[in-house]
Structure 1
Amino acid sequence: MDSPGRPLRADAARNRELLLEAAEKEFADRGPAASIADIARRAGVAKGTVFRHFATKEDLMAAIVCAHLGTLTETARRLADSQDPGNALLEFLTVAADQRQQHDLTFLQSASREDAGVSALLDELHLRLRVLVDSARDAGAIRSDVTETDVFLMMCAPVHVVENHPAPTPLLWQRYLAIIFDGLRPQGAHPLPQPAPTLP
């Protein structure tokens, strides 16, 4: 199991990346039935190597989710000082949808919901996304009644829409992101029929 705060050697870091990549593919193919042995075989390492990095299969699942949440959090942090808040929010949503299109983490996120690292990163993501939403709203780029929770819940919507098509082209989700983002703009906005939701 990795030691917190201690940098990994180059070979150990490489093995960890191979394991995360192999595990994500194995979980995508087999869901919760994926075994540590299958993941090790796919990564080309010994089974013991997996346990040197991750004490349990659940720890491995959480590490995959944390890696993707880290990408989104860093994207939101990078865009926070943009001179064009509306475009910054659209860029964030583009990265989020693209990530979701390439990596379906639904099962892994559900399995890792109670993990402390996942929870901490989700909290940070909400804080950083709130900065983007507030900035876009203050700049008049999105309607005044849109909240961070609204935007968070819509992050994967373009990809979910495309999943209803029997043979979508790889970038079809971009069409629906454009439609969704136009719905966030203040021009022609009508009052929303329900109050903004909150997350537990």
Structure 2
Amino acid sequence: MTSADLPAPTQPPVKRARRADAERNRAAIIEAAGTVFAEQGGTVDVREIARRSGVGMGTLYRHFPTKDDLLATVLEREFTSWLTAAHQAAEATEDPWEALTGFFEQTLAHQAGNRALVESYTATGGPPRVCAEYRDAFIDELRTRCLNAGLLRAGVTTADLVLLSASLSQVVQATGDSHPGQWRRLLRISLDGLRARNTEPLPEPEPEPEPTLHGEGDGGGDASAGD
């Protein structure tokens, strides 16, 4: 018998099966982590995530070496999923004001059910840069629609609406345990202030801070002195 008569190796299918198992494990970890982080926040013990996903701690750490890695993955997925749904809902709403108010309602209702998502605004100031740019562009679309329809108060900027959303997310976190629906009241008050019937001029927005040069404000002198 020559080497040509030998059966073909069977290793590639085994490798493919292992890759499929690894992908299933990763998906199970992310799915379980999304639920656990939403319920308990970012301080949860990862052993609870491993338990719910049905994998061992070794498998979890092979996919996500640190809890921060896992949390970042989950939050980006959550943010992208929510923003896609919000965009679709706004496009399906003909009335510009309803589209804007619906965005705020959906945003805060989603955050009210996701503790880790709201915590991320305090810890990091918001979502990853790419996600934040997508969100800001979407909010600008909503603002422009309302402005063109004569429904939005003069002088309201996209930055105002982004900051309002972030501020109300803190209300969601601060009142979540004691008064879980309080954010709806404050949202209505805030939205009323955005209506075009309010004609009093708004204060001028604060100018953007100048970028700080490297080493500026460190007291001067040679930074290496005394090393």
Both proteins in one fold, TM over 0.5: yes
Q: In structure 2, do the counterparts of structure 1 residues 55 and 112 end up closer, same or farther at CA, with 3 Å as the change threshold?
A: farther
1:108 correspondence with 2:120: yes
What TM-score comes out, normalization by structure 2 length? 0.67
In 2: Cα distance, 1:68 partner to 1:134 partner: 26
CA contact (8 A) 1:97 1:156 kept: no
1:1-200 matches, within 5 Å, as: 12-28=26-42, 31=43, 34-41=44-51, 43-78=53-88, 79-80=90-91, 82-104=93-115, 105-109=117-121, 118-158=128-168, 160-161=170-171, 163=174, 167-168=178-179, 170-195=180-205
CA distance in structure 1 between the aligned counterparts of 2:28 and 2:39, rounded to whole angstroms: 17
Q: CA deviation at 1:131?
A: 0.9
SS of equivalent residue, structure 1 residue 90: helix
> How far apart, CA to CA, are the structure 2 residues paired with 1:99 and 1:72?
8
Distance 1:160 1:26 in 2: 17
Give me the whole-angstrom Cα distance separating, in 2, the residues matched to 1:131 and 1:92: 12
Unaligned runs of 5+ in 2: 1-19, 212-227
* TM-score, length basis structure 1: 0.74
Give the AA of the match of 1:93. F
Q: Report which stretch shifted further, 15-24 or 122-131.
A: 15-24
**Alignment RMSD:** 3.4
Q: 1:46 to 1:11 in 2, by over 3 A?
A: closer
- Give SS of 1:181's match: helix
* Partner Cα distance (2:130, 2:169) in 1: 25
Q: Deviations over 1:87-143 (max 9, x none)?
A: 1010000011112222233443455669xx822111111111211111111111211
What is the CA-CA distance between 1:159 and the residue it aligns to? 5.4
Offset of residue 44 of structure 1: 4.3
8 Å CA contact retained: 1:93, 1:155: yes
Change (3 A) 1:22 1:81: closer
Unaligned runs of 5+ in 1: 1-5
How far apart are the structure 1 equivalents of 2:120 and 2:76?
10
Name the CA shift for 1:64/1:123 in 2 (closer, same or farther; >3 Å).
Answer: same
CA distance in 1, matches of 2:132, 2:124: 11
Which amino acid in structure 1 is aligned with residue 103 of structure 2? F
Percent of residue pairs bearing the same amino acid type: 27
| Residue aligning to 2:222 | none
2:86–2:106: 8 Å Cα contact kept in structure 1?
Answer: no
Q: What is the total number of aligned residue pairs between the two structures?
A: 187
Question: What is aligned with 1:3?
Answer: none
- For the pair shown, which has the larger CA radius of gyration, 1 or 2? 2
